[in-house]
Homo-oligomer: A and B are copies of this chain.
Amino acid sequence: MTEPRRDSRWWGWGDPDVPTELGEAAERMLGERGISTGADASPPEIDRVEIPEAVPVDERVLSAAGAENVFTGNEDRIRHANGQNYLDLLELREGRLQHAPDAVIVADSGPRIAAILEACASAGVAVVPFGGGSSVVGGVTPLKGDHESVISLDLAGLRGIEVDDRSLTAKLGAGLRGPEAEALLAERGFTLGHYPQSFEYATIGGFAATRSAGQSSSGYGRFDSLVSSIRLITPEGELSTLSTPHTSIGPALREVVVGSEGILGVIPDVDVRIRPLPAARRYEAWIVEDFEAGCEIVRGLAQADRLPTIIRVSDDSETEVNLAMALPSGAAGSLFRRYLKLRGREGGALVITGYEGSPAAVHRSRSDVAREIRRGGGVYLGQAAGKGWEKGRFHGPYLREALLERGVLVETLETAQQWSGHRNLYETVRAALKSELAANGMEGIVMCHLSHAYRDGASLYFTVISTQGPDGGAANWPKVKRAACAAIQSAGGTLSHHHATGRDHAPWIEGEIGTSGIEALAALKERFDPSGIMNPGKLLDASRAGSDPPSR
Protein backbone atom coordinates (compact mmCIF):
# COMPACT_ATOMS: atom_id res chain seq x y z
CA MET A 1 0.00 0.00 0.00
CA THR A 2 1.20 3.48 -0.86
CA GLU A 3 -0.42 6.47 0.77
CA PRO A 4 -1.06 9.67 -1.18
CA ARG A 5 1.75 12.13 -0.52
CA ARG A 6 1.10 14.81 2.05
CA ASP A 7 4.46 16.50 2.17
CA SER A 8 3.76 19.81 0.44
CA ARG A 9 1.66 22.81 1.45
CA TRP A 10 -1.94 21.71 0.98
CA TRP A 11 -2.93 25.26 -0.01
CA GLY A 12 -0.24 25.80 -2.61
CA TRP A 13 3.28 25.18 -3.66
CA GLY A 14 6.17 23.57 -1.96
CA ASP A 15 7.85 22.44 1.18
CA PRO A 16 6.09 24.03 4.16
CA ASP A 17 9.47 24.50 5.84
CA VAL A 18 10.77 26.81 3.14
CA PRO A 19 9.84 30.34 4.22
CA THR A 20 7.87 32.52 1.83
CA GLU A 21 8.73 35.96 3.07
CA LEU A 22 8.48 38.61 0.42
CA GLY A 23 11.63 40.41 1.50
CA GLU A 24 12.62 44.04 1.56
CA ALA A 25 13.79 44.27 -2.07
CA ALA A 26 10.59 42.81 -3.43
CA GLU A 27 8.45 45.04 -1.22
CA ARG A 28 10.33 48.08 -2.50
CA MET A 29 10.07 46.92 -6.10
CA LEU A 30 6.32 46.44 -5.81
CA GLY A 31 5.87 49.74 -4.03
CA GLU A 32 7.76 51.63 -6.72
CA ARG A 33 5.40 50.15 -9.30
CA GLY A 34 2.19 50.97 -7.49
CA ILE A 35 1.42 47.38 -6.59
CA SER A 36 0.06 47.68 -3.11
CA THR A 37 0.45 44.64 -0.96
CA GLY A 38 -2.70 43.99 0.97
CA ALA A 39 -3.81 42.32 4.15
CA ASP A 40 -2.67 38.86 5.07
CA ALA A 41 -4.35 36.40 2.66
CA SER A 42 -3.32 33.27 4.54
CA PRO A 43 -5.36 30.12 4.11
CA PRO A 44 -7.65 28.89 6.90
CA GLU A 45 -6.92 25.78 8.94
CA ILE A 46 -7.40 22.74 6.74
CA ASP A 47 -10.31 21.41 8.79
CA ARG A 48 -12.22 24.61 8.12
CA VAL A 49 -12.01 24.27 4.33
CA GLU A 50 -15.40 23.79 2.72
CA ILE A 51 -15.54 21.09 0.07
CA PRO A 52 -18.36 19.39 -1.81
CA GLU A 53 -19.80 16.38 -0.02
CA ALA A 54 -18.33 13.10 -1.23
CA VAL A 55 -20.38 10.62 -3.19
CA PRO A 56 -19.62 7.16 -1.77
CA VAL A 57 -17.27 5.11 -3.92
CA ASP A 58 -19.07 2.52 -6.03
CA GLU A 59 -18.58 -1.04 -4.77
CA ARG A 60 -17.14 -2.22 -8.09
CA VAL A 61 -14.52 0.51 -8.02
CA LEU A 62 -13.69 -0.17 -4.40
CA SER A 63 -13.21 -3.83 -5.12
CA ALA A 64 -11.10 -3.21 -8.23
CA ALA A 65 -8.90 -0.72 -6.38
CA GLY A 66 -8.52 -2.67 -3.17
CA ALA A 67 -10.07 -0.95 -0.16
CA GLU A 68 -6.66 -0.16 1.33
CA ASN A 69 -5.81 2.01 -1.68
CA VAL A 70 -8.91 4.20 -1.42
CA PHE A 71 -8.61 7.40 0.60
CA THR A 72 -11.65 9.50 1.37
CA GLY A 73 -10.37 11.73 4.14
CA ASN A 74 -10.80 15.48 3.66
CA GLU A 75 -7.08 16.22 3.62
CA ASP A 76 -6.47 13.85 0.71
CA ARG A 77 -9.53 15.12 -1.12
CA ILE A 78 -8.39 18.73 -0.67
CA ARG A 79 -4.86 17.90 -1.79
CA HIS A 80 -6.27 16.46 -5.03
CA ALA A 81 -8.85 19.16 -5.66
CA ASN A 82 -6.75 21.80 -7.40
CA GLY A 83 -3.73 22.36 -9.55
CA GLN A 84 -1.43 25.33 -9.24
CA ASN A 85 -2.84 28.07 -11.42
CA TYR A 86 -3.71 31.43 -9.91
CA LEU A 87 -7.41 30.65 -9.58
CA ASP A 88 -6.62 27.26 -8.00
CA LEU A 89 -4.41 28.91 -5.42
CA LEU A 90 -6.85 31.71 -4.76
CA GLU A 91 -9.62 29.20 -4.13
CA LEU A 92 -7.48 27.17 -1.73
CA ARG A 93 -6.56 30.27 0.23
CA GLU A 94 -10.20 31.27 0.39
CA GLY A 95 -10.99 27.81 1.74
CA ARG A 96 -14.10 27.13 -0.34
CA LEU A 97 -13.52 24.50 -3.03
CA GLN A 98 -15.83 24.17 -6.01
CA HIS A 99 -14.64 20.70 -6.87
CA ALA A 100 -13.07 17.82 -5.01
CA PRO A 101 -12.64 14.17 -5.91
CA ASP A 102 -15.05 11.85 -4.13
CA ALA A 103 -12.09 9.63 -3.37
CA VAL A 104 -8.38 9.45 -3.97
CA ILE A 105 -7.24 6.06 -5.20
CA VAL A 106 -3.56 5.24 -5.24
CA ALA A 107 -2.60 2.98 -8.13
CA ASP A 108 0.31 0.61 -7.70
CA SER A 109 0.45 -1.39 -10.94
CA GLY A 110 -0.66 -1.48 -14.56
CA PRO A 111 -3.13 -4.35 -14.08
CA ARG A 112 -4.61 -2.51 -11.11
CA ILE A 113 -5.10 0.62 -13.23
CA ALA A 114 -6.76 -1.45 -15.95
CA ALA A 115 -9.13 -2.98 -13.41
CA ILE A 116 -9.96 0.41 -11.88
CA LEU A 117 -10.70 1.97 -15.27
CA GLU A 118 -12.89 -0.95 -16.25
CA ALA A 119 -14.82 -0.67 -13.00
CA CYS A 120 -15.14 3.11 -13.33
CA ALA A 121 -16.40 2.74 -16.90
CA SER A 122 -19.06 0.25 -15.73
CA ALA A 123 -20.03 2.37 -12.77
CA GLY A 124 -19.92 5.69 -14.62
CA VAL A 125 -17.26 7.22 -12.40
CA ALA A 126 -15.03 9.93 -13.85
CA VAL A 127 -11.27 9.43 -13.44
CA VAL A 128 -8.68 12.18 -13.14
CA PRO A 129 -5.11 10.86 -13.41
CA PHE A 130 -2.97 12.64 -10.81
CA GLY A 131 0.81 12.87 -10.73
CA GLY A 132 2.36 15.86 -8.98
CA GLY A 133 -0.76 18.01 -9.13
CA SER A 134 1.34 20.81 -10.58
CA SER A 135 -0.81 21.60 -13.61
CA VAL A 136 -1.21 25.34 -14.14
CA VAL A 137 -3.95 24.90 -16.74
CA GLY A 138 -6.58 23.07 -14.70
CA GLY A 139 -5.41 19.66 -15.88
CA VAL A 140 -6.18 17.90 -12.59
CA THR A 141 -9.40 19.67 -11.60
CA PRO A 142 -11.79 16.87 -10.59
CA LEU A 143 -14.63 17.57 -13.00
CA LYS A 144 -17.35 14.94 -13.26
CA GLY A 145 -18.50 15.51 -16.82
CA ASP A 146 -21.78 13.63 -17.22
CA HIS A 147 -21.03 11.34 -14.32
CA GLU A 148 -22.23 11.16 -10.74
CA SER A 149 -18.86 10.97 -9.10
CA VAL A 150 -15.16 11.42 -9.76
CA ILE A 151 -12.02 9.85 -8.40
CA SER A 152 -8.50 11.20 -8.45
CA LEU A 153 -6.25 8.34 -9.56
CA ASP A 154 -2.96 9.09 -7.84
CA LEU A 155 0.03 7.40 -9.47
CA ALA A 156 2.23 7.69 -6.38
CA GLY A 157 2.44 3.88 -6.22
CA LEU A 158 4.27 3.70 -9.55
CA ARG A 159 7.87 4.60 -8.80
CA GLY A 160 9.94 1.88 -10.39
CA ILE A 161 13.07 2.21 -12.49
CA GLU A 162 14.83 -0.14 -14.93
CA VAL A 163 17.93 1.06 -16.74
CA ASP A 164 19.32 -0.20 -20.05
CA ASP A 165 22.83 1.20 -19.87
CA ARG A 166 23.74 0.04 -23.34
CA SER A 167 20.85 1.77 -25.09
CA LEU A 168 20.91 4.65 -22.57
CA THR A 169 17.23 4.29 -21.83
CA ALA A 170 15.26 3.82 -18.63
CA LYS A 171 11.76 2.73 -17.82
CA LEU A 172 10.50 5.15 -15.20
CA GLY A 173 7.32 4.82 -13.19
CA ALA A 174 4.78 7.55 -13.92
CA GLY A 175 4.55 8.52 -10.25
CA LEU A 176 8.21 9.40 -9.80
CA ARG A 177 8.70 13.06 -9.06
CA GLY A 178 11.51 14.88 -10.83
CA PRO A 179 13.99 14.70 -7.92
CA GLU A 180 13.15 11.04 -7.23
CA ALA A 181 13.74 10.07 -10.85
CA GLU A 182 16.99 12.03 -10.95
CA ALA A 183 18.19 10.47 -7.68
CA LEU A 184 17.50 6.93 -8.92
CA LEU A 185 19.26 7.71 -12.19
CA ALA A 186 22.17 9.46 -10.49
CA GLU A 187 22.84 6.37 -8.34
CA ARG A 188 23.48 4.60 -11.63
CA GLY A 189 25.49 7.46 -13.14
CA PHE A 190 22.77 8.90 -15.36
CA THR A 191 20.48 11.88 -15.73
CA LEU A 192 17.28 12.59 -17.59
CA GLY A 193 18.03 16.31 -17.61
CA HIS A 194 14.43 17.43 -17.45
CA TYR A 195 14.04 20.49 -15.23
CA PRO A 196 10.81 22.40 -15.61
CA GLN A 197 10.15 24.96 -12.87
CA SER A 198 7.71 22.41 -11.40
CA PHE A 199 10.54 19.83 -11.16
CA GLU A 200 10.31 19.36 -7.38
CA TYR A 201 6.76 17.96 -7.45
CA ALA A 202 5.87 17.21 -11.06
CA THR A 203 6.07 13.57 -12.15
CA ILE A 204 7.31 11.52 -15.09
CA GLY A 205 3.76 10.66 -16.13
CA GLY A 206 2.78 14.31 -16.03
CA PHE A 207 5.79 15.33 -18.12
CA ALA A 208 4.64 12.90 -20.81
CA ALA A 209 0.93 13.65 -20.60
CA THR A 210 1.54 17.39 -21.03
CA ARG A 211 4.49 17.54 -23.48
CA SER A 212 6.60 19.22 -20.87
CA ALA A 213 9.67 21.28 -21.63
CA GLY A 214 12.34 22.05 -19.07
CA GLN A 215 14.84 24.79 -18.41
CA SER A 216 17.61 22.64 -19.90
CA SER A 217 15.64 21.41 -22.89
CA SER A 218 17.89 23.17 -25.39
CA GLY A 219 20.59 20.76 -24.29
CA TYR A 220 18.73 17.64 -23.20
CA GLY A 221 15.69 17.91 -25.44
CA ARG A 222 12.06 18.49 -24.60
CA PHE A 223 10.33 15.67 -22.79
CA ASP A 224 8.59 14.43 -25.93
CA SER A 225 11.96 13.97 -27.59
CA LEU A 226 13.20 12.01 -24.55
CA VAL A 227 10.38 9.47 -24.79
CA SER A 228 11.60 6.33 -26.47
CA SER A 229 8.39 4.37 -25.95
CA ILE A 230 5.28 4.68 -23.86
CA ARG A 231 2.27 2.79 -22.57
CA LEU A 232 -1.29 3.98 -22.18
CA ILE A 233 -3.87 2.02 -20.22
CA THR A 234 -7.31 2.97 -21.49
CA PRO A 235 -10.78 1.83 -20.46
CA GLU A 236 -10.68 -0.23 -23.67
CA GLY A 237 -7.29 -1.89 -23.48
CA GLU A 238 -3.65 -1.00 -23.52
CA LEU A 239 -1.75 0.83 -26.20
CA SER A 240 2.00 0.39 -26.13
CA THR A 241 4.64 1.44 -28.59
CA LEU A 242 7.73 -0.45 -29.67
CA SER A 243 11.07 0.48 -28.12
CA THR A 244 12.85 1.44 -31.30
CA PRO A 245 14.92 4.53 -32.01
CA HIS A 246 12.68 5.16 -35.02
CA THR A 247 10.04 3.45 -37.11
CA SER A 248 8.25 4.25 -40.35
CA ILE A 249 5.33 1.97 -39.57
CA GLY A 250 2.46 4.43 -39.85
CA PRO A 251 1.62 7.52 -37.80
CA ALA A 252 3.61 7.90 -34.56
CA LEU A 253 1.25 6.56 -31.92
CA ARG A 254 3.82 7.52 -29.29
CA GLU A 255 3.05 11.14 -30.19
CA VAL A 256 -0.65 10.49 -29.67
CA VAL A 257 -0.07 9.22 -26.14
CA VAL A 258 2.41 11.98 -25.33
CA GLY A 259 0.23 15.05 -24.81
CA SER A 260 -2.98 13.08 -24.27
CA GLU A 261 -3.52 14.84 -20.92
CA GLY A 262 -5.40 11.96 -19.35
CA ILE A 263 -8.37 12.08 -21.73
CA LEU A 264 -7.64 8.71 -23.34
CA GLY A 265 -6.21 6.75 -20.45
CA VAL A 266 -3.46 6.54 -17.87
CA ILE A 267 0.28 6.44 -18.57
CA PRO A 268 1.76 3.96 -16.04
CA ASP A 269 5.40 4.31 -17.09
CA VAL A 270 7.55 5.89 -19.74
CA ASP A 271 10.72 4.66 -21.44
CA VAL A 272 13.02 7.62 -21.68
CA ARG A 273 16.38 8.38 -23.20
CA ILE A 274 18.99 9.15 -20.56
CA ARG A 275 22.51 10.53 -20.51
CA PRO A 276 25.60 10.11 -18.39
CA LEU A 277 25.67 12.60 -15.53
CA PRO A 278 27.47 15.70 -16.73
CA ALA A 279 31.00 16.00 -15.37
CA ALA A 280 31.01 19.78 -15.71
CA ARG A 281 28.47 22.56 -15.36
CA ARG A 282 28.84 26.24 -15.86
CA TYR A 283 26.18 28.92 -15.59
CA GLU A 284 26.69 32.55 -16.33
CA ALA A 285 24.90 35.77 -16.99
CA TRP A 286 25.17 38.47 -19.63
CA ILE A 287 23.41 41.69 -20.32
CA VAL A 288 22.51 42.71 -23.86
CA GLU A 289 21.08 45.92 -25.23
CA ASP A 290 17.44 44.91 -25.20
CA PHE A 291 15.11 41.92 -25.58
CA GLU A 292 15.19 42.06 -29.36
CA ALA A 293 18.98 41.95 -29.41
CA GLY A 294 18.90 38.99 -27.04
CA CYS A 295 16.38 37.14 -29.18
CA GLU A 296 18.50 37.75 -32.26
CA ILE A 297 21.54 36.26 -30.53
CA VAL A 298 19.51 33.20 -29.61
CA ARG A 299 18.17 32.89 -33.15
CA GLY A 300 21.72 33.00 -34.49
CA LEU A 301 22.90 30.33 -32.08
CA ALA A 302 19.90 28.10 -32.73
CA GLN A 303 20.21 28.35 -36.49
CA ALA A 304 23.92 27.55 -36.31
CA ASP A 305 23.19 24.51 -34.09
CA ARG A 306 25.17 26.12 -31.28
CA LEU A 307 22.61 26.36 -28.49
CA PRO A 308 24.05 25.74 -25.05
CA THR A 309 22.27 23.49 -22.54
CA ILE A 310 20.34 26.47 -21.19
CA ILE A 311 19.71 29.85 -22.70
CA ARG A 312 17.13 32.38 -21.64
CA VAL A 313 16.65 36.05 -22.31
CA SER A 314 14.54 38.26 -20.07
CA ASP A 315 12.86 41.27 -21.60
CA ASP A 316 13.72 44.70 -20.28
CA SER A 317 10.89 44.63 -17.79
CA GLU A 318 11.74 41.20 -16.37
CA THR A 319 15.40 42.17 -16.26
CA GLU A 320 14.59 45.28 -14.24
CA VAL A 321 12.44 43.33 -11.80
CA ASN A 322 15.02 40.55 -11.49
CA LEU A 323 17.79 42.99 -10.79
CA ALA A 324 15.65 45.00 -8.38
CA MET A 325 14.78 41.89 -6.41
CA ALA A 326 18.14 40.18 -6.55
CA LEU A 327 20.39 43.12 -5.87
CA PRO A 328 20.94 44.48 -2.42
CA SER A 329 19.99 48.11 -2.14
CA GLY A 330 23.32 49.04 -0.63
CA ALA A 331 26.89 49.36 -1.82
CA ALA A 332 27.18 46.17 -3.88
CA GLY A 333 24.06 47.04 -5.83
CA SER A 334 25.20 50.48 -6.83
CA LEU A 335 28.68 49.25 -7.66
CA PHE A 336 27.10 46.71 -9.97
CA ARG A 337 24.95 49.35 -11.63
CA ARG A 338 28.02 51.55 -12.11
CA TYR A 339 29.87 48.64 -13.68
CA LEU A 340 27.08 48.18 -16.19
CA LYS A 341 26.87 51.91 -16.88
CA LEU A 342 30.58 52.10 -17.57
CA ARG A 343 30.06 49.39 -20.17
CA GLY A 344 27.27 51.35 -21.78
CA ARG A 345 24.44 49.42 -20.22
CA GLU A 346 21.70 51.01 -18.24
CA GLY A 347 18.88 48.56 -18.21
CA GLY A 348 19.00 46.12 -21.05
CA ALA A 349 18.07 42.46 -21.18
CA LEU A 350 19.48 39.73 -18.98
CA VAL A 351 20.73 36.56 -20.64
CA ILE A 352 21.40 33.38 -18.69
CA THR A 353 23.47 30.64 -20.29
CA GLY A 354 24.21 27.19 -18.93
CA TYR A 355 26.56 24.49 -20.13
CA GLU A 356 26.52 20.88 -19.00
CA GLY A 357 28.53 17.94 -20.23
CA SER A 358 32.15 16.84 -20.38
CA PRO A 359 34.64 19.55 -19.42
CA ALA A 360 35.78 19.72 -23.06
CA ALA A 361 32.24 20.02 -24.38
CA VAL A 362 31.40 22.72 -21.84
CA HIS A 363 34.54 24.64 -22.71
CA ARG A 364 33.88 24.39 -26.42
CA SER A 365 30.23 25.33 -26.27
CA ARG A 366 30.97 28.18 -23.89
CA SER A 367 33.58 29.66 -26.24
CA ASP A 368 31.20 29.48 -29.21
CA VAL A 369 28.31 31.00 -27.34
CA ALA A 370 30.30 33.70 -25.55
CA ARG A 371 31.78 34.83 -28.87
CA GLU A 372 28.32 35.15 -30.40
CA ILE A 373 26.88 36.99 -27.42
CA ARG A 374 29.80 39.44 -27.44
CA ARG A 375 29.34 39.90 -31.16
CA GLY A 376 25.71 40.73 -30.43
CA GLY A 377 26.77 43.44 -27.96
CA GLY A 378 26.58 41.44 -24.75
CA VAL A 379 28.42 42.40 -21.56
CA TYR A 380 29.55 39.55 -19.36
CA LEU A 381 28.18 39.58 -15.84
CA GLY A 382 30.08 36.56 -14.62
CA GLN A 383 29.35 33.16 -13.15
CA ALA A 384 28.05 34.41 -9.81
CA ALA A 385 24.92 35.84 -11.41
CA GLY A 386 24.50 32.61 -13.41
CA LYS A 387 24.90 30.52 -10.29
CA GLY A 388 22.37 32.75 -8.61
CA TRP A 389 19.88 31.89 -11.32
CA GLU A 390 20.71 28.20 -11.02
CA LYS A 391 20.30 28.26 -7.25
CA GLY A 392 16.91 29.91 -7.55
CA ARG A 393 15.72 28.04 -10.64
CA PHE A 394 12.91 26.27 -8.81
CA HIS A 395 12.18 29.14 -6.44
CA GLY A 396 9.61 31.00 -8.56
CA PRO A 397 6.61 29.17 -7.11
CA TYR A 398 7.74 30.01 -3.56
CA LEU A 399 7.95 33.68 -4.42
CA ARG A 400 4.50 33.36 -5.87
CA GLU A 401 3.23 32.00 -2.55
CA ALA A 402 4.72 35.02 -0.81
CA LEU A 403 2.98 37.38 -3.24
CA LEU A 404 -0.36 35.60 -2.92
CA GLU A 405 0.01 35.75 0.83
CA ARG A 406 0.03 39.55 0.47
CA GLY A 407 -2.94 39.63 -1.87
CA VAL A 408 -0.94 40.20 -5.03
CA LEU A 409 -2.08 38.56 -8.25
CA VAL A 410 0.64 36.57 -9.95
CA GLU A 411 0.21 34.30 -12.93
CA THR A 412 2.15 33.11 -15.97
CA LEU A 413 1.30 32.08 -19.49
CA GLU A 414 3.43 31.06 -22.42
CA THR A 415 3.44 30.57 -26.15
CA ALA A 416 5.77 30.05 -29.10
CA GLN A 417 6.08 31.17 -32.69
CA GLN A 418 8.39 30.92 -35.64
CA TRP A 419 11.08 33.58 -35.75
CA SER A 420 9.36 35.55 -38.50
CA GLY A 421 6.36 36.16 -36.24
CA HIS A 422 8.14 36.07 -32.89
CA ARG A 423 8.58 39.79 -32.29
CA ASN A 424 5.00 40.52 -33.33
CA LEU A 425 3.73 37.81 -30.99
CA TYR A 426 5.69 39.34 -28.12
CA GLU A 427 4.38 42.83 -28.77
CA THR A 428 0.80 41.73 -29.38
CA VAL A 429 0.49 39.64 -26.23
CA ARG A 430 2.29 42.18 -24.08
CA ALA A 431 0.03 44.98 -25.31
CA ALA A 432 -3.09 42.87 -24.75
CA LEU A 433 -2.04 42.02 -21.20
CA LYS A 434 -1.23 45.62 -20.32
CA SER A 435 -4.39 46.93 -21.85
CA GLU A 436 -6.60 44.38 -20.13
CA LEU A 437 -4.94 45.05 -16.76
CA ALA A 438 -5.61 48.75 -17.23
CA ALA A 439 -9.19 48.17 -18.37
CA ASN A 440 -9.88 46.36 -15.12
CA GLY A 441 -8.19 48.87 -12.86
CA MET A 442 -5.29 46.57 -12.10
CA GLU A 443 -1.85 48.08 -11.42
CA GLY A 444 0.76 45.67 -12.63
CA ILE A 445 3.91 44.54 -14.32
CA VAL A 446 4.00 42.43 -17.46
CA MET A 447 7.30 40.73 -18.03
CA CYS A 448 8.54 38.09 -20.40
CA HIS A 449 11.40 35.79 -21.24
CA LEU A 450 12.44 33.50 -24.02
CA SER A 451 13.54 30.17 -22.60
CA HIS A 452 13.14 27.52 -25.33
CA ALA A 453 14.74 28.09 -28.68
CA TYR A 454 14.72 26.15 -31.92
CA ARG A 455 16.06 26.62 -35.42
CA ASP A 456 12.64 27.83 -36.57
CA GLY A 457 11.36 29.78 -33.58
CA ALA A 458 11.17 30.16 -29.84
CA SER A 459 8.92 30.32 -26.81
CA LEU A 460 7.75 33.40 -24.92
CA TYR A 461 6.92 33.11 -21.23
CA PHE A 462 4.92 35.96 -19.69
CA THR A 463 4.56 36.72 -16.01
CA VAL A 464 1.95 39.13 -14.69
CA ILE A 465 2.29 40.60 -11.20
CA SER A 466 -0.49 43.00 -10.33
CA THR A 467 -3.08 44.20 -7.93
CA GLN A 468 -6.30 42.25 -8.10
CA GLY A 469 -8.31 45.24 -9.26
CA PRO A 470 -11.59 46.54 -7.84
CA ASP A 471 -13.57 43.43 -8.84
CA GLY A 472 -11.02 41.07 -7.34
CA GLY A 473 -8.60 38.61 -8.92
CA ALA A 474 -11.12 35.79 -9.32
CA ALA A 475 -13.27 37.98 -11.54
CA ASN A 476 -10.47 39.83 -13.28
CA TRP A 477 -7.91 37.16 -14.11
CA PRO A 478 -10.20 35.24 -16.51
CA LYS A 479 -10.66 38.45 -18.50
CA VAL A 480 -6.91 38.99 -18.70
CA LYS A 481 -6.35 35.36 -19.68
CA ARG A 482 -9.00 35.60 -22.39
CA ALA A 483 -7.36 38.71 -23.79
CA ALA A 484 -4.02 36.91 -23.82
CA CYS A 485 -5.40 33.84 -25.60
CA ALA A 486 -7.09 36.01 -28.22
CA ALA A 487 -3.86 37.96 -28.74
CA ILE A 488 -1.82 34.77 -29.03
CA GLN A 489 -4.12 33.35 -31.65
CA SER A 490 -4.32 36.59 -33.60
CA ALA A 491 -0.53 36.62 -33.77
CA GLY A 492 -0.27 32.99 -34.84
CA GLY A 493 1.21 31.66 -31.62
CA THR A 494 0.39 28.40 -29.90
CA LEU A 495 -1.86 28.51 -26.84
CA SER A 496 0.87 26.79 -24.91
CA HIS A 497 4.45 25.82 -25.58
CA HIS A 498 4.74 23.61 -22.50
CA HIS A 499 1.90 24.10 -20.01
CA ALA A 500 -0.56 22.00 -22.07
CA THR A 501 -4.27 22.50 -22.69
CA GLY A 502 -6.01 21.31 -19.54
CA ARG A 503 -9.29 22.98 -18.79
CA ASP A 504 -8.08 26.52 -19.33
CA HIS A 505 -7.17 26.29 -23.00
CA ALA A 506 -9.81 23.75 -24.00
CA PRO A 507 -12.31 26.36 -25.18
CA TRP A 508 -9.66 27.80 -27.49
CA ILE A 509 -8.22 24.78 -29.20
CA GLU A 510 -10.44 24.82 -32.25
CA GLY A 511 -8.61 28.00 -33.21
CA GLU A 512 -5.33 26.11 -33.00
CA ILE A 513 -6.00 22.59 -34.29
CA GLY A 514 -9.13 23.26 -36.33
CA THR A 515 -12.38 21.36 -36.54
CA SER A 516 -10.64 18.40 -38.11
CA GLY A 517 -8.07 18.34 -35.33
CA ILE A 518 -10.84 18.19 -32.77
CA GLU A 519 -12.52 15.45 -34.76
CA ALA A 520 -9.31 13.44 -34.76
CA LEU A 521 -9.03 13.66 -30.97
CA ALA A 522 -12.74 12.97 -30.53
CA ALA A 523 -12.44 9.86 -32.71
CA LEU A 524 -9.61 8.56 -30.53
CA LYS A 525 -11.51 9.41 -27.37
CA GLU A 526 -14.63 7.61 -28.54
CA ARG A 527 -12.60 4.55 -29.33
CA PHE A 528 -10.62 4.32 -26.10
CA ASP A 529 -12.99 5.99 -23.68
CA PRO A 530 -16.49 5.45 -25.05
CA SER A 531 -18.12 6.22 -21.71
CA GLY A 532 -16.23 9.49 -21.41
CA ILE A 533 -14.86 8.84 -17.93
CA MET A 534 -11.29 9.96 -18.60
CA ASN A 535 -10.51 13.45 -17.32
CA PRO A 536 -13.74 15.12 -18.48
CA GLY A 537 -13.58 18.73 -19.58
CA LYS A 538 -9.84 18.72 -20.30
CA LEU A 539 -8.16 19.17 -23.66
CA LEU A 540 -11.41 18.80 -25.58
CA ASP A 541 -13.90 21.49 -24.64
CA ALA A 542 -16.07 20.51 -21.69
CA SER A 543 -19.19 20.71 -23.81
CA ARG A 544 -17.73 18.07 -26.12
CA ALA A 545 -16.03 15.65 -23.80
CA GLY A 546 -17.74 12.30 -24.01
CA SER A 547 -20.42 13.62 -26.33
CA ASP A 548 -20.69 13.42 -30.08
CA PRO A 549 -17.98 15.21 -31.98
CA PRO A 550 -18.90 18.54 -33.54
CA SER A 551 -20.33 18.38 -37.02
CA ARG A 552 -18.23 19.94 -39.73
Contacts and interface: CB of A to CB of B under 8 A. Distances in A.
Contacts of A237: 515-516, 519, 552
A312 interface: no
B418 A213 contact: no
A480 B224 CA distance: 37
Contacts of A303: 168
Interface residues on A, range: 35 or more
> How many copies of this protein are present in the complex?
2
B213 A253 contact: no
Contacts of A471: none
A513 B167 contact: no
Interface in A238-294: 238-261, 273, 275
Interface in A455-514: 455-459, 492-501, 505, 509, 512-514
A248 B497 contact: yes
A62 to B, nearest CB: 26
A82 interface: no
A250 B167 contact: no
Contacts of A212: 248
Interface in A150-166: 164, 166
A200 interface: no
A500 B256 contact: no
B249 A496 contact: yes
B420 A249 contact: no
Interface in A304-333: none
Contacts of A224: 252
A252 to B, nearest CB: 4
Contact of A456 (B228, B259, B495, B517): B228
B251 A257 contact: yes
A526 interface: yes
A169 B249 contact: no
Contacts of A247: 211, 416, 494-497, 512
Given A239-B517, A523-B526, A512 B420 contact: no
Contact of A513 (B222, B242, B420, B496): B242
Contacts of A242: 492, 494, 512-513
A191 interface: no
Contacts of A509: 249-250
A256 B456 contact: no
A497 B244 CA distance: 9
Contacts of A552: 236-237
Name the residue among A166, A246, A516 with the largest chain B CB count within 10 angstroms: A246
A74 interface: no
A524 interface: yes
A523 B521 contact: no
A534 interface: no
Contact of A520 (B497, B517, B527): B527
Given A237-B515, A456-B168, A514-B239, A418 B244 contact: yes
Contact of A252 (B252, B498, B516): B252
A380 interface: no
Given A258-B252, A517-B239, A524-B520, A454 B499 contact: no
A413 B153 CA distance: 44
A500 B452 contact: no
A252 B255 contact: yes
A501 B250 contact: yes
Interface string A383-424: 000000000000000000000000000000000111110000
Name the residue among A234, A256, A493, A500 with the largest chain B CB count within 10 angstroms: A256
Contacts of A241: 513, 517
Name the residue among A167, A505, A512, A526 with the largest chain B CB count within 10 angstroms: A167
6 contacts: A164-B418, A244-B493, A248-B499, A248-B501, A250-B260, A527-B549
Give the 8 A-B residue pairs with the shortest CB-CB distance, closest first: A255-B255, A245-B457, A245-B454, A211-B248, A167-B418, A247-B494, A523-B527, A239-B516
Given A240-B516, A248-B496, 7 more contacts: A164-B418, A243-B492, A244-B497, A245-B452, A519-B527, A520-B524, A520-B527
Interface of A: 164, 166-169, 210-213, 222, 224, 228, 232, 234, 236-261, 273, 275, 303, 416-420, 452, 454-459, 492-501, 505, 509, 512-517, 519-524, 526-528, 539, 549, 552
